[in-house]
Chains A and B, each alone.
Chain A
């Protein structure tokens, strides 16, 4: 009964849909915005915004791009 890790071969088709290597890409927008060395600075400024602000706002784009990419790559059944 214990630990029914979804490893059973009978579930292979749906597993393929859910466990795609593309999913690993999602760790980029989770990890990158949490590294202060990248964004904690003043220069260069963009439109008067210090790097701290514009770079973190730009990470939103990073998040959107990655999630969209992973969604497109994983949405079709067995789509490799």
Chain B
């Protein structure tokens, strides 16, 4: 069984070398962004995923990115090319806030 699992894992890893394990993700759960601050390198694509039973909306404070309304299970991806701090909030529940720090 372990061998089969190992083989499966190996196959999966071969097909998707980086995405599954390393793709940076911000989860939205209980009306909060987790992690609230995420540090990534320039050129990184960050996935935001809504795990709540209520729609949320990811909006940059400086309007540099904005998702559509994310229903339960929906994701939004944005690629951060420039270095800097990118504060964002939920366009529907603005007390929900997070930050992506892009640093080399």
Q: Do A and B come from one complex?
A: no
A-binding residues in B (CB < 8 A)? none
